[in-house]
Structure 1
Amino acid sequence: MTPPPSPAPPAARRLAGGQVPAALIAQLASGPRALAMRLVVFLVLLTAAQVHDGSLHAASHWMILGGYALSSLWLGLVSLRRPAEATSWISTVLDAALAIYVVIEHMLAGSVGASAPGDVVSRLPAFLLLLQTGLTLRVMHTILFSVLVAGFWAVMLVVGLADPEIGAITSETIAHQAFGLLTFVAMSLFVIDGTLRLRFALREALRLEHERSALARFVPAGVDLVRGDGVAPLRSRHACLLALDIRGFSALTRVWGESEVVGWLLAVRALVHDTVDRHGGLVDKYVGDGVLAQFLDGSAAEQAAAALACADEISRRMEAANGERVTRGLPALAVTVALHAGEVLVGVFDDGRRAEFTVLGPAMNALARIERRAKNDGLPLAASKRFLRSLGARAPADWRRLPRRAGEEDCPDLVAPARDPLASASL
């Protein structure tokens, strides 16, 4: 028999919980694109240094740029092989150090007079690297970069106000740098807020995609349960319903013990689930030793034909499985299948705490009554006359009507095969 499905991996559980996978963030913060962004920043700084050299210490300026280029290349190569959280923090601190150095060096060069082009060149690394850090979607990294750059920038302004002779800092230089600092702080707030919004949007997109992928494992292609803007609401549609139950399961439990029969139950569930999937149906839920499935795709006749074909295949597979069980000295398992058709409410019911696929309506209650009558009579298969009518021209001619009994006023008119197709699966 087909083994039961394995539990969802941790990554899938994180998606279901609305978390952005760390591996995805690592890809955004490293790899060829991140290396290319750092290369662009370096080329912009190199060009700016050629066009406008506002440095009193040209040698140290070129040394810093060279060191940044080499360290960026090393970090890029390391991240290409194996992205690591420690590497991303080193990259963030390195970017902040470069931005701080260029700002402070330009401020110390204020003796030659404040220059608008020079201000732009000195602030360019801080803003470019702030945007680059924010685009990695690492909120804490973006906050750290902003705090380091703004903190050192503010400290240097305070030192310049306290002792203007340091580097011949002028009042005009301080005014220009104060405006630049305020602009950087405002931009940092916008980037951090944008990063948070992007993470939220990505988390929602991943959650919807996870729901769509998870439902696609069990839902036929013609049943649209997840739309672009979220899970589709409950809506009325025609469905053919199948309920399967193991007859005498409680007695088997008493004789063979719970630990033994649990494996039998899981094997039957796997067999039924595989068969329902094969015929385009959807397993709704397991209730004790029972299975509830729906056939929602296609016309009413196509749904009924698929449900009946599913019941026939379950019969054949149970017969083969029981043959193997008997040869091993185990009892055969008898199952009852009930079939019904009608209008139901279908969709994903989400109360904010748990979302599950749901089928609601009077047809579900009628299905339970059909199953109860079939079990009481020991029938392997029973169906409502409405289900039989749904088959149309495909309806078998040799089915017999089951007489209605006292107390079954709410039960639909029932039919059963003259020769039960599931008889070979009985005890």
Structure 2
Amino acid sequence: MASGGFGNPPLPGLQAARAPAEGRVDPGSDDEAVLRAMQAGGGLRLLGLRVVIVLVLLMAAQAYDGSLHALSHWLILGLYGLGTVWFGLRERGGGPAANLYSWAGTGLNAGLAVYVIIEHMLAGGGAGLGADAVSRLPAFLLLLQTGLSMRVAQTLLFCGVVTLCWSAAFLVGLLHPDLFPNADTFPTAQLTGLATFMAAGLLVVDGMIRLRAAVARALRMEHERTQLARFVPDTVALDLAAEDGDSGLGVHRRHACLMILDIRGFSRLSREHPPETMVTALLAVRAAAQAAVAEQGGLVDKYIGDAVLVQFVVGHPDVQARAALACALSIRDRLVTLNAARAREGLFPLRLVIALHAGDLLVGVFDDGVRAEYTVLGPAMNALARIETQAKAAEIEVAASGDFLDLLGGSLPAGIRAVPVPEAALPEPLSLFSIAVAPGA
């Protein structure tokens, strides 16, 4: 088995070295990509919403104070309706000017909201509370429409323009009450409306920011899962992307449980049997190992000759350890079944040695610009190689280090015990245990 241990270099340097070689763009970090994802498929609906809002404003204006409105009021509403639909169509058409049309549409919305509010103040709201509500309706409806565009800056612009103009009109009304009818109820009514609009604006903007952050994170996770899926099973890629969060596809320091297995006496068997026979035996062992690893949520790191290197990197360390041990025991049981089938075919039996260890490693996609692989590196790999060597020498089928067993907290599957191997030639603080069937089990 080839090991890849080394003395942990600075992690940021590794990630920086990988970036130019990969040349990949994380869509979660592209603000426009987030915006496009959130607006996908919503063009017609947003345009339809503009039309609905225009109709609501026209009906509300007619229902309250309709007879008092001058012709200019209806002309302004009509022009707004045509303008907002035109801007919506131009924006939906895309192109380099689409963003400018969007900003212009936001300005148009703010202008209408301010116009209706101030026009109602000057008219005195002849229909009482109902007219007050209708005068504020454009501000709130258009706030929601702007918010649904998912453009935070434009929503802030809309809120800022309406709040500033509304506040200015309110101050003018306080300083010159003779300009506004119903001066006795003016301060309370307008202050309440202004405060309500500001609160609604804050809620809408905060919700947009949170939603965009959630979508950006989802896009990053999907991007990472897609990239990792080139190297690892899709289910493992999803878990790794979720655990690594915003740290990207680089190399991470994380805990891992490692397992290596190989066929005992493979070199000798290769000299005694035809290559075709040995290839069949090797593939059968690999298939059994792969099935057990997938069953326990592990990852086959690589095949090295007749050896199989496996990593368990998802979940808490004790979860990793239990999955790795269950995988090793499953492989042992599968080998019994495999040898029974081979015996019926008159083939020689196969024997395995399985070693388990745990530790902190560098885990991730190592990319030198020519070849990329998802693997683990670190001193624990060297320790795993030593443990496997001693397990072979001691004729142990399943071996584990003391570090690995510590993660299990002394809890082993029923009928299984860990027997120390004191004569193992391992450097401190490594220790070797044989994972065997308990007497009477």
What interval of TM-score do these two structures reach, taking the shorter chain for normalisation? 0.5 to 0.7
Is 1:364 equivalent to 2:375 in the alignment?
no
Identity of aligned residues (%): 43
Q: Indicate conservation of the 8 Å contact 1:92/1:141, yes or no.
A: yes
Inter-partner Cα distance in structure 1 for 2:375 and 2:45: 44
**What does 1:22-421 align with in structure 2 at a 5 Å threshold?**
22-26=32-36, 28=38, 31-53=43-65, 56-82=68-94, 84-110=98-124, 113=126, 115-166=128-179, 168=181, 170-221=183-234, 223=236, 226=239, 230-231=243-244, 237=257, 239-240=259-260, 294-295=309-310, 342-345=355-358, 359=376, 364-366=381-383
Conserved? CA contact 1:348–1:358, under 8 Å = no
1:32/1:76 contact within 8 Å kept: no
SS at match of 1:342: strand
Q: SS of the residue aligned with 1:239?
A: strand
Q: Secondary structure at the match of 1:171?
A: coil
How big is the shift at 1:410?
5.2
Cα deviation 1:287-339 (Å, max 9, x = unaligned): xxxxx9944599559999xxxxxxxxxxxxxxxxxxxxxxxxxxxxxxxxxx9
Alpha carbons 2:231, 2:374 under 8 Å: kept: no
Q: 1:415 is matched with which residue?
A: none
SS in 2 for 1:144: helix
How far does residue 28 in structure 1 lie from its aligned partner after superposition? 4.3
Q: Could you report, residue by residue, the CA deviation over 1:169-198 in whole angstroms, capped at 9, with x for unpaired residues? A: 533234312211111112222222222222
1:137 Cα deviation from its structure 2 partner? 3.0
| Whole-Å separation in 1 of the counterparts to 2:37 and 2:244 | 29
* Count of equivalent residues: 294
Counterpart residue identity of residue 186, structure 2? T
Matched to 2:54, the amino acid is F
Q: Which consecutive unaligned segments of at least 5 residues does structure 1 have?
A: 243-279, 285-291, 305-338, 351-355, 374-382, 391-407, 412-427
* 8 Å Cα contact 2:259-2:356 kept in structure 1: yes
Match of 1:126, SS state, is helix
AA matched with 1:150? T
- Per mean C-alpha deviation after superposition, the further-off stretch among 27-36 and 117-126 is 27-36
| 1:307 alignment counterpart | none
Contact kept in structure 2, 1:342 and 1:363, CA below 8 Å: no
Q: CA deviation at 1:387?
A: 12
Distance, in Å, in 1 between the alignment partners of 2:360 and 2:66 is: 66
2:70 aligned partner, one-letter code: A
Contact 1:96–1:126 (CA<8 Å) still a contact in 2? Answer: yes
Which residue identity lines up with residue 162 of structure 1 in the other structure? L
Structure 1 contact 344–359 (Cα < 8 Å) conserved? no
Q: What is the CA–CA distance in structure 2 between the aligned matches of 1:340 and 1:79, rounded to whole Å? A: 66
Contact 2:225 2:241 in 1 (8 A): no
Shift of 1:155: 1.3
In structure 1, what residue type is equivalent to 2:259?
A: A
Structure 1 length as normaliser, TM-score?
Answer: 0.55
Q: 1:172 to 1:293 in 2, by over 3 A?
A: farther
**How far 1:65 moved relative to its partner?**
1.9
Q: Please say which of residues 51-60 and 191-200 is displaced more in the overlay.
A: 51-60
Q: How far 1:121 moved relative to its partner?
A: 0.7
Instruction: Kindly provide the CA deviation profile for residues 37-68 of structure 1, in whole angstroms up to 9, marking residues without a partner as x.
Output: 22222222122123223574432222222222
Structure showing greater relative contact order (alpha-carbon pairs closer than 8 Å, 6 or more residues apart): 2
Which ranges of structure 2 fall in alignment gaps of 5 or more residues?
A: 1-19, 246-252, 263-293, 313-325, 333-351, 364-372, 399-423, 428-441
Contact between 2:114 and 2:139, CA under 8 Å: does it hold in 1? yes
| Partner Cα distance (2:89, 2:234) in 1 | 43
> CA 1:32/1:282 → structure 2, altered by over 3 Å: closer, same or farther?
farther
Shift of 1:226: 1.1
Does the CA-based 8 Å contact 2:114-2:165 persist in structure 1?
A: yes
Q: Secondary structure at the match of 1:226?
A: helix
Q: Within 2, Cα distance between the matches of 1:158 and 1:90?
A: 28
SS in 1 for 2:82: helix
Q: 1:225 to 1:241 in 2, by over 3 A?
A: farther
What TM-score, normalized by structure 2, do the two folds share? 0.54
Contact 2:120 2:135 in 1 (8 A): yes
> 230-239 vs 133-142, which deviates more?
230-239
Relative to structure 1, the CA distance from residue 222 to residue 208 in structure 2 (aligned partners, 3 Å threshold; closer, same or farther) is: closer
**Any conservation in 1 of the 2:35–2:151 contact (CA below 8 Å)?**
yes
**What is the CA-CA distance between 1:386 and the residue it aligns to?**
10
CA distance in 1, matches of 2:395, 2:183: 91
